[in-house]
């Protein structure tokens, strides 16, 4: 998982060429793993770092639903935030952008461009797709025409069904697992230890 950070384009201007700038939105949404990776949303506003107050927004909503009326809390931390995004241009080329911003007590202190490059061009991706298509055609012809492949493939599916059936028949009953966890002390240390087996 990751968090998102909204970075207004003016904060990136001195780091990018005009051509690269044009690929970014006015308030561009980047991904980051600099925080707790709980799908939270951060933003830079007036040289400060803010975090969206999820108690009023709801965890599932995300950046596309943030509004001017949303509550944003100031972040008071010293933190280095590496953020990134992959962006397609009009010709379907994929560009990689990666930045590092340093915040002191939540205030923007340093900005650094870590990487900006074309990862794959449309032609490269087209060549890769053609390569895969050729390979899959050969593989599929073999699968369809080789008798031994068909026999063992059929056998594998049947044995897999039997394995799944047998696995369900010999699982530990939840009451036995509860008894063992209670006696071992596991449930005292981790009251949720049985949650994983609730459907058994």
Q: Which of 70, 89, 121 is the last residue of a domain?
A: 121
14, 112: one domain: yes
Confidence of residue 56 (pLDDT cuts 50, 70, 90): low
* pLDDT one-digit tens code per residue, 91-127: 889 999 999 999 999 999 999 999 999 988 888 888 9
Both structure tokens of 24: 């970014």
Domain contains 69: yes
Confidence of residue 59 (pLDDT cuts 50, 70, 90): very low
Rounded distance, CA 46 to CA 177, Å?
Answer: 55
Terminal-residue alpha carbon distance, the chain: 28
Domain contains 196: no
7 CB-contact burial (10 Å; exposed 0-12 / middle 13-18 / buried 19+):
buried
Rounded distance, CA 143 to CA 192, Å?
Answer: 46
Domain contains 195: no
114, 129: one domain: no
Confidence of residue 2 (pLDDT cuts 50, 70, 90): very high
39, 93: one domain: yes
The three-state DSSP-derived secondary structure of 55-73 is HHHCCCCCHHHCCCCCCEE
Rounded distance, CA 55 to CA 113, Å?
Answer: 33
Whether residue 144 has pLDDT greater than 70? yes
């Amino acid at each position: 998982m990751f968090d998102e950070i909204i970075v207004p384009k003016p904060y990136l201007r001195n780091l990018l060429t005009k051509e690269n700038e044009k690929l970014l939105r006015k308030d561009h949404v980047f991904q980051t793993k600099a925080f707790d990776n709980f799908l939270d949303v951060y933003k830079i506003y007036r040289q400060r770092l803010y975090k969206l107050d999820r108690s009023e927004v709801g965890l599932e909503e995300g950046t596309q639903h943030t509004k001017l009326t949303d509550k944003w809390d100031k972040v008071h931390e010293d933190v280095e935030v590496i953020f990134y995004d992959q962006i397609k241009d009009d010709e379907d080329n994929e560009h990689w952008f990666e930045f590092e911003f340093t915040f002191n007590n939540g205030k923007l202190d340093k900005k650094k461009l870590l990487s900006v490059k074309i990862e794959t061009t449309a032609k490269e991706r087209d060549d890769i797709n053609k390569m895969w298509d050729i390979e899959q055609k050969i593989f599929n012809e073999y699968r369809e025409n080789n008798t031994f492949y068909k026999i063992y493939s059929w056998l594998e599916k049947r044995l897999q069904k039997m394995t799944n059936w047998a696995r369900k028949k010999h699982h530990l009953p939840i009451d036995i697992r509860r008894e063992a966890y209670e006696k071992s002390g596991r449930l005292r240390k981790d009251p949720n230890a049985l949650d994983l087996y609730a459907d058994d």
